[in-house]
Amino acid sequence: MKNTNRVETLHARRRWRGLLGPSLLGLVMQGCAPEDASGTVMAYVFARDEATGQYALGRHPVENLESLRELRGRDVDFRGGSELMTSSYERGSPFALEYTREADGTVVPGDMHSLYALSLYRSMDRTATLLRAHGHVPRRRLDVLYYPRLDNLLTGDGRAELTDNAAYSSVGPSFLIVPSFLLDGLPMMLNEGVVAHEFGHAVIHQELFGDLETLPGEGDSSWDTTRRDLSAMHEGVADLFGLIVTGDPDYVLATVDADRDMAEPRDYTPTRREEAVLGDGFEPHAHGSLLARAVYELWPKDAQGRISPEGRSRLLTATLASLRELKFEKDTFTLASFPNTLVTHLSAEEREAACAVLLKRMKPLTATLTSCEVAP
């Protein structure tokens, strides 16, 4: 199934430069920031329209704030002046949001970074709220390192070499945010599916490993294949979080055409399995995308062939339960471990149809699909 919004999305990306520039000019001309605020505020942010899937500047509620000025909330804490190292980071100082308020109290971001960061905070908080409603509560507030210093012993600060990226790190745990300075496409950090994907990495790590920052088998080469399967599963399940939040199986397309449309079925081939086992040519996003595509194909659809909002809610519940049930063990954990557990949360009839998909799409791992074994 192709994404029917592809052409519209590409046109929207071309319009982004014309939309964001005037918006920023209008916001910047507002003046200096007033007193701090907490709780819920109305604010101008870039957000995704649930009905059309398009992104635009608008007034939206921003919730669960402890400090608006520092962008610290119930589940995330934005930090500026951070320094990221190989296995640790310096938190830096609280974020300094620049803003004014209109006569009705609406918050108006005062510069590009404030607009970016406030929009990102809202997206992350909404994802955290959805997860809480399904039983996942973060063990601790997550640091969001906004444009941190990236030190290299030879070249020094590497920030100038990076633009427009968002990533999760189990160290902390924390999120790394590198803003875009090119106003010709929807930045990664404003793509609500990408934000949910990165938040999903934090969920996966907590449900599987709790507070561990070092994974089992670290430094032991006999675990290499298992770790590669884990990294691919991370990316595939994180893609599912992006789908669950946006309802769009190709949510990445709003930012970049990365060939990640979950609605386009594709097989996990013997060549892919060889990549995972040997490491040559292995790329976790490509392998994880095959897992996400299989799950999208097997999950129950509505009459229009889509996963309904109720279906996405059910998928989230089943995903969280499956992550809690998984065991990360050498030689037994594979890319198929997650879907093999997921199908146990379907009805008998649904499970039969789902297993038919898995056995077709993940043939090299058929022996590990124990939930799909046919009784003698």
Residue 186 pLDDT grade (very low, low, confident, very high; cuts 50, 70, 90): confident
With a pLDDT cut of 70, the percent of the chain lying above it is 82
pLDDT in tens, 83-116: 877 667 788 899 999 999 999 999 999 999 999 9
376 or 374, which is more confident?
374
pLDDT (0 to 100) of residue 10? 38
For 3-18, what is each residue's pLDDT tens digit? 333 333 334 444 444 4
The two three-digit tokens of residue 255, written as one number: 């930012």
**Residue found by looking up tokens 């210093």 in the block:** 149
Pick from 148, 150, 38, 141: which is nearest to 93 by CA? Answer: 148
Who has greater pLDDT, 190 or 178? 190
d(CA 373, CA 353): 13
Can you say whether the dihedral through the CA atoms of 299, 303, 309, 310 is positive or negative? Answer: negative
Strand, helix or coil for residue 326: coil
Q: Judging by beta carbons within 10 Å of its beta carbon (0-12, 13-18, 19+), is residue 1 exposed, middle or buried? A: middle
Residues 264-312: pLDDT tens digits? 999 999 999 999 999 999 999 999 999 999 999 999 999 999 999 999 9
Closest CA to 109 of 16, 200, 47, 202: 47
φ, ψ for residue 269, nearest 5 deg: -95, 165
As a whole number, the mean pLDDT across the chain is: 87
| pLDDT band for position 167 (cuts 50, 70, 90) | confident
Pick the range with the lowest mean pLDDT from 99-108, 134-143, 170-179, 250-259: 170-179
Instruction: Categorize the per-residue pLDDT at 245 as very low, low, confident or very high, splitting at 50, 70 and 90.
Output: very high
What integer pLDDT is reported at residue 332 of this predicted model? 95
